[in-house]
Every structure is written in C-alpha cells, then in structure tokens.
Structure 1
Amino acid sequence: MREQRKQALLPKLRFPEFREAGEWEEKLLGAVCDMQAGKFVSASEILDKPAKEHYPCFGGNGLRGYTKSFNQSGRYSLIGRQGALCGNVNLVEGNFYATEHAVVTTTKLGIRTDWLFYNLCLLNLNRFATGQAQPGLSIDVLEKVNCAVPKDEKEQQKIADCLSSIDELVTLETQKLDTLKTHKKGLMQQLFPAEGETLPKLRFPEFRDARKWEERELGPLTTKVGSGITPMGGDKNYKTKGRPFVRSQNVGWGELILNDVAFIDEETHQSFDSTEIKVSDVLLNITGASIGRSAVADSRIAGGNVNQHVCIIRVKQDKLSPTLLNHFLISERGQKQIDSFQAGGNRQGLNFAQIWSFVVPLPPTEHEQRRVADCLTSLDELITAQTQKLAALKAHKKGLMQQLFPSVGGVDGEAGRGGRPVVDGAQG
C-alpha cells in the first residue's frame, strides 16, 4: 500500500532536472492557499461599459460587468461557487471585484499562483458541490480537498511555464478561428444583396454583367417542408446504434454536431418514414433557444429521422442550391427574416407556412449559385480545420496536465457513499 501511495504522488511525466527530486507532498487546499468569498454586488453597481476607473466584476459564472469599486489587486485564482459553471476556475490579474458567487484564493508561502491555477483546474472542483436545488461549493469543503504539491518551487514554475505556453498557443489559434468566422460573416453580407436591393456588393468577375438577382418565395422551390416527432417514451427509446435520430442540438450554425447523436431502431424508423433524411436536405431548427440554426444533411445521417424541433427543407436542386439556402438562412438577412416571425422577438417557434413564405434572393443562373455556395463552403472547411486544430491543442493540454500532476485521494473521480466524492475521509 505504501508503494502504491508513493507511485500515486509521482507524476507520470516529469522534467529531467526534477526526476530525482522525490515524491510530491499530499496537502489539503486549505494548507496551500487562503480562501475568501467575494461580496454582494447589486445590479445598480454593475456598469454596462468599462471606463478608465472601472474594474471587472467576477461572479460564479465569470465576468458580470464592471464596477467603480474593487477589493482585490494582483494575481489570483477565482473559483465559481454556484450556477452553471460552479467549480470553474479563472486566473485574474490587476484590479477586480468578486461577488459572493466566487471564491478568491491567495497562495501561501512557497506556492505559485499560476501553478495553483492549473492544479485547481485539474481537480474538477464541481464534483464537491453540495445541495439539491442549486448545488454550491462551500469554503469548508474546498479547504478539505486533497492535492499534490512538489517540494521544489522551481518545479511549480516549470510546470506553470509549460502550460502557460500552450495557453498562449490556444489563445492565438482561437483568435485565428474568430478571424475566419468574422471574415465569413462579412463576406456573406457582401455576396448576398442587402434587403431591398437586387445586386450584391461583391460579385465574381464572370457575373458582373449578368442579370440582377431575384427574390423568390421558398415554398415553390421545395418538394418537402416538414418535421418529425419524438418516439413514445422519449429518450428511453434511444439506442446506441441504428438509424440516426437528429435533434435540435445536432444542428449547429451551418454544421452538424453529431458527438451526441441518438439512434432509433428499424421498427421506430419505419413508423416515421415521412421524416426520413436524405443527403442535401437542409435541416432547420424551428423551436426553442436554437431556433434558426441550420445545416445540410450528409451521408452520416442520411436514412435517419428528425424530431419535431427540426424541419426538413428539401429543395428542387435545379432551382435552388441547398448549400446556398443553408448559407442564406444563417446569414444576417436570413436570421432577420426568421426573427420577423417571432412575436415580440421571443423566438418561440416557426410553422411550415412561415417557412414556405421565406423570401430567398437568388442569382439568375445555377452557375452563380454554385460559385457563391462553393466560396462560402471553402471558408467553412477552413473554419472546420481550424476548429479541429484548436480542439486537438486543447486535448493535448488536458492530457499533458494529467501527466504533469499526480493523482491523490478524492481527485481521480471515485465516489463515496451516495455517489459523491470523498473529501478527506468524509462525504462532500
């Protein structure tokens, strides 16, 4: 048992100069840092726009706004206490204010703030939240969470510098992704005519002398506009394999999100034959918070079905490119048209008659349709590639963190009685 404990407190990956430095020490977070809850900040104190004398105000879910007063200055780790991001950790520098929904940590002697930040991130603190209606983290519980600490502060510095360099790469690649998305958004506004106009601001050279664009009602350009239903019994009928069952969360802004796609069996599929997906169907979310998101169906979901929150728009491809339609629907002008059907701007839902009545600007030839669609699709491919690159970098960082920090009791995800992790021998 003692040998297992020693192995648990040695990281799997260690920098050469520290390989003979011995095992790390197991400590409670309360021995590593002091913790203090922030103070209540009223809505009237939060300012919409930052000014020179204003400071960021952090709550449990991140930045809330700006306030004229502040209670901290320096570099600290903040832990969210309640809300959707309970247990979330942020590294904050400079002057700031923390609300009662955040815990401010102050490192003790021999502990580096940036190293502690990465350690806290790895601990998955949300596991220790207590309560039913709105689970939250108490300082008493946090102080009893176990962590491992290297004896040499220089090793802390080395680990923090390594992970910080990866964070810098993540920031850079995120900026590249945001730039691509911004470029595409601006290009879409130029490749489609503005409302009330018949010519786009930007047109490919070979079409500059071509006829004007026309506005067409979507209905006559389709062979199908309809959605599906959810099987009786709801998600109890979902399978791990079978026919793909596409829900609103699987339809993104111009892309399919299939990491959590559900499946239904063949018998259920046969009862939903009128909602079978075909390649090149345009899928549009028509209810809920994700209303207006759309994507084009491909071979991964062809032969599957949609539920009642997703509408299948099947176009006459000799009249309208499904890819062009998809790009238009998620464009600023397309979204404005979708919003116009929502009473009071609540975005409650779209019916088939409204979808049928969508007005779509179309170039005079199929060739120009394809050129516009292909141009935007090529940008989508760049965005997808950059997204994958960013995801791989984040996965690399996560794996590296797991190797640079050894596991300690209560950190590896094992749960005690009642399914909650054990903290220092007691239930969390």
Structure 2
Amino acid sequence: MSVADIVPVLRFPEFSGDWEGIRLGEIVSQSYQGVNTAADQVQYVSSGAPIIQAKHITSGELDFSEARSIGSADYKTYCSKFNPVLNDILVSNIGTLGKVIIVNEDQKFLIAWNIFLVRLAAEQTFPRFVFHVLKNTASGGYFERMKSGNATKFVNKTDMLAIRFGLPSLPEQKKIAAFLGVVDAKFAGLKARQEGLERYKRGLMQALFSQRLRFTKSDGTAFPDWEEKRLGDVLSVEMGQSPSSSSYNDQKEGLPLIQGNADVKFRLSAPRRYTSEITKICEIDDILLSVRAPVGETSKAIHRACIGRGIAALRANKPQHQEFWHQFLLRYEPKWAALEQGSTFAAISGPDIRSLKVKAPHPDEQQKIADALSAMDAKIAAVAGQVAKMQEFKKGLLQQMFV
C-alpha cells in the first residue's frame, strides 16, 4: 500500500497520522481450520458439546440450534485446539464463503473443517476492529475473487492470511469498533423488530385461516360459516406456456417475460427480458404461483407480462376478494409439497391447482381478513425498508472508515 492508500476518507477528528499497511498474517498468533469430522471419524451423540459448521454462523451469530454434538471423550481430544475462546474470529471459507463472527464469550463447543479460526496477537490489535475489517473484506468481494475449487468452493489459508488492510493505533481501533458496535446494535434492533412482526403475522394468519379468530359484521352479528369449495371455483387459473427462446429480447419488444422464480424479487414480478411471442398473459395484481421447483412459492404481478411454463397466474372470480386469496396462498406455500410430481424436478399441474379443496368465507369477511393482513404487511415492509437503509448506511461507513 502507498501512504495515500492507508489514510481513511472518514475519520474521528481526534486522530491523525497514517495507518500501517499490514497483512492479516502479520497480526495473527494462531489460524487454522476446524476438526475434519469425517476423516477423524468423530462420534456424534444426542447430548454433548456442539460442533458447529459454516451454516451455524451465517446469521452473523453463533447458532447452536441444529448443531450436532460429540461426547466427552472426543471433546477432550479436540478442545485444546478447536474450542474457540473469547475474541477469536471465525470465518467460513469452505462452501459458504465470507461469513464472519467474533466469539463473545467462552463456551464449550468445537469448530468443524469449514470454519477458519483467527486468533490475534493481543498486544497489537483490538479484535473487534479486525472483526469489522474482515466483514468489510467479505462484503467487498474478496472471497469471491480468491475462491478455488469446483464442486466446493474455498479460500485457502495462504489467501486468508494475505488479506491486506490498514491498521491504526490501538486507541483508534477501539473507537472505530465501539462506534460500529452501536451501528450493529441499531441494525440488530431493527432486524429483531422485523422478525417479531413477521412472527406475529404468521400467528395471525394461523388464527384467521383456522377460524379460531373470526371477524363480525358491522352490526356485530356473525358472518356465515365458511364454505368448502375447489380453488378453481374461486380463482381463474392460467397456466404459463414458454415462448420460443428466439423471441427473447432486451429491446422491450412485446411483453416482459416471467418464466419462474428467477423473475421474481421480494415476492413481486421482476422480469429480466422481453418476448415478442406472446403465449399466456398475467395481468397486474394477478397472483403468481410457481408450479415448478420450488413449487408453491407465491408472489404478485406488478407487470402485464407473458408467463412461461414455470408460473401460473391466478385471479379471483367475482365476488371473491383477490388479496384474501393471495394471503391464503402465502400461508399454504409449504403444503404444495404433497402435490409435487415429476422425476426430474418437482411440479404441479393445472388440475392439481384447480381441484385443491379450500374453505371460503363470505366475501365481506374475506375483505376484513385481507385488510388486517395487508396492514401487517405494510408494517413489515416499513421496518424492512429501515433495515435495508441501515445496511446501506453501514456499507458506506465501512467503505470510508477502512483502507
């Protein structure tokens, strides 16, 4: 690094002077992969010390909920090396790449082969500063650029220890880490609020669609009992048909093309290309149902578009309420697996969809249910927007605070 490279754009005013350009390997006291559970023939037990893999740190925190456990004898064999301690940094560098956490307390657990442990030389560094550096390195694409391997991608130890960055004085490291800790806490609070609202909505859907919770008419009297129908009685179902690939274009000739889930983002249509050959059409506000793997995923059309064979477009028949059935299908998503067919990939057919037995409330009750669930969606979307803004804010901070 040149001198110009190691002076950050954004800095606390009480600090000055250049940062020292270093490689991670220069400040590490220990670094290695976790236990090779297959080669070492680790014996798993129902209750013991958890051994975590990369998937257990992808959330940004240690997650022992689905970790397998090993017995006391195996734990004693491996604990001196493979039980992380306070302030160790764990990085996923095999398979899942670039997930980084810091160990916040001493606990009894081991790391497996696809986690890389970084233990710093305490006299030079503040671990939480380096933790943020490595997260910034991951978000900047370093792991993607350095990955090797075919079926399983990995970043080797040499490339891990070659990560280069600017290191300020210890007091400045601590100041930066403390500030970013506050930002992380704010983000975690927003994320927890979003997850809490999502849990509440799931519970509300369960109560409403099971009829444990019922709305009443404006005069306080009960709505009629829900009637058993077929989904084809309440919704029109248009199965997609893929146009010829020769009709695909990026010049906006014809209509946008929705082939499957690759053309959906955040449960809204997001077509990547157009087609000049119009086969089957969805209209704006139609419910889009994925009929090929992953079967049953539900979204909403915000485009008038041509739909390919991976999608069905559903529209409420009068006097049915469109948003009610949209919410119903969101809740029904996991249950489509029972109808999957096809040996190469899972799929459901038009008759499968139309023949599905459903309980239909009175249209006025449908309206009340839809309004309640849509109001929850609006709250969730508002908080999700704050989460996204906080992510962008932090990303900008990291780009300017680290060199």
TM-score, with length taken from structure 2? 0.84
224 and 403 in structure 1: CA distance in 2 versus 1, 3 angstrom threshold: same
Q: Secondary structure at the match of 1:87?
A: strand
User: Is the 8 Å Cα contact of residues 216 and 223 (structure 2) preserved in structure 1?
Assistant: no
Residue 177 to residue 219, structure 1, CA distance change in 2 (3 Å): same
Change (3 A) 1:143 1:280: closer
Q: Deviations over 1:250-298 (max 9, x none)?
A: 4468x3163xx3021xxx33x22x422212211101111x321112323
Distance, in Å, in 2 between the alignment partners of 1:47 and 1:233 is 56
SS at match of 2:377: helix
Q: Kindly indicate whether the alpha-carbon contact (under 8 Å) linking 1:67 and 1:97 is maintained by their aligned counterparts in 2.
A: no
Alignment of 1:8-27 (within 5 A): 8-18=5-15, 20=16, 22-27=17-22
Report the identity percentage: 22
Could you say if the C-alpha distance between residues 40 and 248 of structure 1 is closer, same or farther in structure 2, counting changes exceeding 3 Å? same
- Please state if 1:111 is matched with 2:153: no
Alignment partner of 1:129 out of 147, 156, 167:
147
Instruction: Provide the residue aligned with 1:425 in structure 2.
Output: none
Match for 1:296 among 279, 297, 300? 300
Q: Does 2:172 match 1:161?
A: no
What is the alpha-carbon distance in structure 2 between the residues aligned to residue 110 and residue 8 of structure 1?
21
2:90 equivalent among 57, 72, 78: 78
The aligned residue for residue 30 of structure 1 is 25
**Equivalent residue for 1:306?**
307
Name the counterpart of 1:204: 215
1:176 is aligned, of 190, 193, 204, to 193
Match of 1:383 in 2: 380
2:286–2:313 CA contact under 8 A, matched in 1? yes
Give, in angstroms, the shift of residue 396 of structure 1: 0.7
3-state secondary structure, aligned to 1:81: strand
Quote the offset at 1:60 in angstroms: 6.7
Q: Give the Å deviation of 1:394.
A: 1.0
Aligned runs of 1:349-428 on 2, under 5 Å? 349-364=347-362, 366-406=363-403
2:215–2:222 CA contact under 8 A, matched in 1: no
Q: How far 1:144 sits from its partner (Å)?
A: 2.2
Tell me what 1:419 maps to.
Answer: none
Q: Which runs of 5+ in 1 are unaligned?
A: 195-199, 407-428
1:362 Cα offset (Å): 1.3
CA distance in 2, matches of 1:397, 1:240: 36
Q: Does the 8 A contact of 2:263 with 2:272 survive in 1? A: no
Cα distance 1:44–1:56, how it changes in 2: closer, same or farther (>3 A)? Answer: closer
Residue 225 of structure 1 contacts residue 356 of structure 1 at CA under 8 Å; is this kept in 2? no
Q: 1:60 to 1:219 in 2, by over 3 A?
A: closer
How far, CA to CA, are the matches of 1:47 and 1:291 in structure 2? 35
Task: Give the 3-state SS of the residue equivalent to 2:347 in structure 1.
Answer: coil
Q: 1:411 aligns to what? A: none
Aligned pairs for 1:192-341 (under 5 A) are 192=209, 194=210, 200-206=211-217, 208-229=221-242, 231-232=244-245, 237-239=248-250, 243-246=255-258, 247-251=260-264, 255-256=267-268, 258=270, 261-264=271-274, 268-269=275-276, 271-272=277-278, 274-288=279-293, 290-298=294-302, 301=303, 303-316=304-317, 318-331=318-331, 334-335=332-333, 337-341=335-339
Q: Quick check: 217-226 or 386-395, which moved more?
A: 217-226
CA contact (8 A) 1:277 1:312 kept: yes
Which amino acid in the other structure matches residue 322 of structure 1?
Q
Separation in 2 of the partners of 1:336 and 1:8? 51
**1:66, distance to aligned residue in structure 2 (A):** 4.0
- In structure 1, what is the Cα distance between the partners aligned to 2:31 and 2:243? 48
Structure 1 residue 233: deviation in Å?
5.8
- Whole-angstrom CA distance in 2 between matches of 1:330 and 1:77: 39
Change (3 A) 1:346 1:133: closer
- Secondary structure, aligned partner of 1:174: helix
Pick closer, same or farther for the CA change 1:58–1:315 going to 2, 3 Å. same
Distance in 2 of aligned mates of 1:219 and 1:304: 22
Once residues 265 and 88 of structure 2 are traced to their aligned partners in structure 1, the CA distance between those partners, rounded to angstroms, is 36
Distance 1:233 1:10, change over 3 A: farther
